[in-house]
Structure 1
């Protein structure tokens, strides 16, 4: 804990010729009152440096090196500080994968994210769900290098009759004996209890590493048992490190239980995370949530974004009460490391913190070699030039990876045995991105940065359980990509320019045609505007017309499954699985697992004939390389000259 008297603070400020203003709690604290500032990070996911390894370029929006650059100033604003991490710290980007898959962890090795954290004087940390992605033994070797304790109160090798009887893998909590400097400059002892929790869903997400060897408790149930124990051991205040988000509607073993954790008597402050959101902020609402004040059930709480995007702060005004301390008042806030400007550009608000950069320099250089090297091979080119008019290899590989992942993860669950379909869309398909905005990975090596080209967004995989009728409507919504085509008319414009390509979901695992002579059943916002229109025809599963009442699992992403794009069957209520992994990471793992991929576009969808009609669509000029391949799949296509802004035009006979 950092302690700074007012006299020392003013002296250091004068020496630096710049004044750092004290927080009001420190400025007005009197004798027997002390300001304690809790600095928090969460969901770092191994982002030590301000670098996007997928895009292979520096960025201003992430990195502990940036977050750390404001830590000293923020510490100087408070008389006493404590620093904690809320989990998901060593997995989540290519540096994490390099350490696990290439470097490994021998006894005595220091993981780069731990080396970075050790430069900052953390007081405690807890586990997140991603700490288990490489196995428990790897996790233990990583944690062995930390200069701070790591706690977890609901992860055990076995469960006893009560939480207090559980054989926990780590200590459930730590009680730190510290000295507080009060407003009069007097130092007095305090016992700060810190307890940690993780989502119980790790048993599903990392079943291959945990099944039969480990178990979990519900977050609230564990806290209810352990917090009184901490009080009995003399903890003056208790901080809960909850690698769990904020949601309403309590259920035992719920994933995002921080709101109800705040109800546990004896907890004074909550550090939340896991959802990759910011709190206080506009992302959460409901009974017990004060998003403006940053409280849960009246207690201060903070969620500091993800990847080091923010530093979270909880400021406590403590009052000496006899021989102990209690919280008199509190504030929650976050400090960002960058800002988005009106022109959509990003500006850095901070620079790099040299000790973090230095501590991770070797790992950074090795990661760059790793990210630029191949993770596998492709025996077919992966391109998106024709992704909006024909089944496409760049979309196919995403669907193949999603189907592979979800099929495996649902084994042993109530959903095992249901058909698994996959919904994926082309992200780089020209449009406003321009005539060069296409995926084009040639036959040969596939590097991690190529995977980023296949899947642009840091979505996480989700799966929904829907009916055959909902599958049909999902596809009807996707078919809004196209204008209505009139029979007998030549050279009609095919694509609806107001429809984004990321909303053109192709569903793999079924076969179907799109009848463009029909109007779109849905408008661009997902509202039904032509209730009698049905563009999706000949929809089949396993060679037979789809049963509208049959149930299917559809692998997708968090944006779509949670209601993004307003797709039927995907409004958040049908989600049966939320993966702890990004879709991009799943593609990487799929390629590594297979060695060589051959995502042959299987022609599971196409256009129904429209008599006498031809359509024009524009694509990148480099598409000419692959026209013969598209023709070989039965698409009647020919070059139709140059389009505007560098695009090439092609004519398709329907």
Structure 2
């Protein structure tokens, strides 16, 4: 049995616009910074546990959670302050989900020590009871800010935001989901109420600023960009002041580097998304000045091969 299958078996048994282009500052200066945070992120994994088949296709023999776990471990061995996040649609896409109902996905993410994730529309594919039944397999935080679950089985199951302390930096994270009506069968989300993501984001930013967060991150499953008036990550960045990084999902968009949006108040928000099915791992490094102001951001999408 190879290491990949051993990793999967052990997990099941154990139960657990302007674009940024590379470095904005010499790596030597980044390395010398006394305060550096590394954000690793994924989105739209869609139950892709193993690599794509080695069949000559576009993504042949790429991806796979065991390889991702190895890469994450290598980064953590070099970087002391790492936050690992996911922007939703963990479920649905391979027979692993059909057979295990999300158990394997959550256990593997827990084994990789994810810090937080938000919910995508496909995470409701087995209904609220299916999602609720799998939550004990996740040792990481689920963050949902604009779904009101108060009249559902999922009441009090998720946090509106979470604050992490890494290397003397306070990082506030909140999460936004896409409107479920029209995407998800009504019986699968029941009385869940969808709240306006713009209004909710403004409230979350204010709360996190009141709690003295130095870096504010939105985990978004809204989608990167639409031609219509439908809210997306780009519109969110332009209309909400104070978000430093939007980690996106839903549209399966591969961005070579984060897009930088400067809103009317002059605040810069980075938007990043790394496609789908765990083909890439997003990596963004932030450095901070003496007063914990953001002084640098470096990005690198890492292929899982």
TM range (shorter): 0.7 to 0.9
Could you tell me how far 1:49 is from its partner in structure 2?
Answer: 1.9
Q: Distance in 2 between matches of 1:144 and 1:227?
A: 29
Aligned: 1:219 with 2:197: yes
Could you tell me how far 1:76 is from its partner in structure 2?
Answer: 3.9
Aligned to 1:267: 243
Q: Distance in 2 between matches of 1:168 and 1:222?
A: 17
Aligned to 1:27: 31
- Out of 120, 130, 144, the position equivalent to 1:128 is 120
Whichever of the two has the greater Rg, that structure is: 1
Could you tell me how far 1:211 is from its partner in structure 2?
Answer: 6.2
What is the aligned residue count? Answer: 269
Aligned to 2:213: 235
- Out of 288, 296, 302, the position equivalent to 1:329 is 296
* Residues 99 and 53 of structure 1: CA distance in aligned 2, closer, same or farther (over 3 Å): farther
Correspondence 1:454-469 to 2 at 5 A: none
The higher relative CO (CA closer than 8 Å, separation ≥ 6) is in 2
* Residues 274 and 267 of structure 1: CA distance in aligned 2, closer, same or farther (over 3 Å): same
User: Relative to total residues, which structure has the larger strand share, 1 or 2?
Assistant: 1
Could you tell me how far 1:207 is from its partner in structure 2?
Answer: 3.0
* Residues 278 and 296 of structure 1: CA distance in aligned 2, closer, same or farther (over 3 Å): farther
Aligned to 1:99: 100
Segments of 5+ residues of structure 2 without an aligned counterpart are 1-25, 263-267
Q: Distance in 2 between matches of 1:332 and 1:213?
A: 39
Q: Retained in 2: the 8 A contact 1:300–1:332?
A: no
* Residues 119 and 157 of structure 1: CA distance in aligned 2, closer, same or farther (over 3 Å): closer
Aligned: 1:171 with 2:159: yes
Aligned: 1:308 with 2:287: no
Q: Retained in 1: the 8 A contact 2:125–2:188?
A: no
Q: Distance in 2 between matches of 1:293 and 1:82?
A: 17
Aligned to 2:175: 196
- Out of 247, 254, 264, the position equivalent to 1:278 is 254
Q: Distance in 1 between matches of 2:76 and 2:119?
A: 25
Q: Retained in 2: the 8 A contact 1:203–1:210?
A: no
Aligned to 1:318: 288
Segments of 5+ residues of structure 1 without an aligned counterpart are 1-21, 101-109, 160-166, 181-188, 281-291, 338-348, 350-654
Q: Distance in 2 between matches of 1:54 and 1:150?
A: 35
Aligned: 1:113 with 2:83: no
Q: Distance in 1 between matches of 2:270 and 2:285?
A: 9
Aligned to 2:4: none
Question: How does the TM-score come out when normalised to structure 1?
Answer: 0.38
Q: Retained in 1: the 8 A contact 2:106–2:137?
A: yes
* Residues 147 and 293 of structure 1: CA distance in aligned 2, closer, same or farther (over 3 Å): closer
| Secondary structure of residue in 2 paired with 1:279 | coil
Q: Retained in 2: the 8 A contact 1:90–1:113?
A: yes
Aligned to 2:88: 87
| Secondary structure of residue in 1 paired with 2:38 | strand
Q: Distance in 1 between matches of 2:96 and 2:278?
A: 15
* Residues 84 and 218 of structure 1: CA distance in aligned 2, closer, same or farther (over 3 Å): same
